[in-house]
Amino acid sequence: MNCCLLQDSASTARYARFGPYHIDQQRRQVFLDGTPLRLQGKVYQVLIVLLQKQGEVVTREELRHALWPASTHVDYVANTNTAINKLRQALKQAANKPCYIETIPRRGYRFAGTAEFSEMPFPTMKPANSPTAETIDPGREQEAPKSHASRSYKLPTMIAVALILVGMLLGATAATYWITHFA
């Protein structure tokens, strides 16, 4: 797999991953252990900007230029704070325990993790505590796991079909006997 940690690759690579998170930049989708997260609009854009400059401080001014055209009239500070807070919530990160998005007081923000970038999808793992932990191939559609409820109907259905068939067989046998002996 052609992976690297270079910033040039961050802006051109289709896929990125850090920790349990995977990103498909072409589809603008973020996944946590293979489960899609609802990360849209400015929140997604903030994540991508921080990933592209991982380890570096990204100033509020840089975020403003990356997220809004110069002619846009919005409260950049409030909107940036909101986007950062929503991003931290989506990444399940407490503000007082930064593991990915770090606030650098009076300067901006920094992506504190290590992201990898690739043109090929990264294999993902189901959580280790899952009863069926296995590698998930992102290029292949996954079969939906059968629920306990769908399995519980299988046996009664088979029994009902078998009883119907036995009834039909007994009915046909009785009819044949009746016709040959009493008709």
Q: What is the pLDDT of residues 101-140, one digit of tens each?
A: 999 999 999 998 889 998 888 875 555 554 444 444 444 4
User: φ and ψ at 137, to 5 degrees?
Assistant: -90, 110
Which two tokens mark 119?
């043109």
Please indicate, yes or no, if residue 138 is contained in any of the structural domains: no
Query: Which residues are registered as beta bridge partners of 125?
Result: 135
Residue 33 domain-assigned (yes or no): yes
- DSSP SS3 for 133: coil
Which residues, 6+ apart, have CB-to-CB distance to 107 below 8 Å? 57, 59
DSSP SS3 for 53: coil
SS3 52: helix
Same domain, 159 and 80: no
Which domain does 84 fall in, by range? Answer: 3-132
- Please tell me the total count of domains within the chain: 2
125 and 155 housed in the same domain: no
| Single-letter amino acid, residue 108 | G
> Which has the minimum average pLDDT: 1-10, 70-79, 144-153, 171-180?
1-10
Which CATH number belongs to the domain containing residue 109 in this structure? 1.10.10.10
For residue 17, the cross-strand partners are 22, 116
Residue 123's pLDDT is 77
157 in the same domain as 111: no
In this structure, the answer to whether residues 38 and 117 fall within a common structural domain is: yes
Tell me, yes or no, whether 81 and 161 share the same domain: no
Q: Which residues contact 10 (CB under 8 A, 6 or more apart)?
A: 16, 51, 52, 54, 115, 117
Residue 143 covered by a domain: no
Longest dimension (CA), the chain: 103
Instruction: Decide: 62 and 121 in contact? Cβ < 8 Å.
Output: no
pLDDT in tens, 45-58: 999 999 999 999 99
- For residues 29 and 87, state if they share a domain: yes
Half-sphere exposure of 97 (CA within 13 A, CB side): 5
44 and 114 in a single domain? The answer is: yes
94 occurs within a structural domain: yes
Structure tokens at 77: 């500070």
Average pLDDT for 28-50:
91
161 and 72 assigned to the same domain:
no
The answer, as to whether pTM is greater than 0.85, is: no
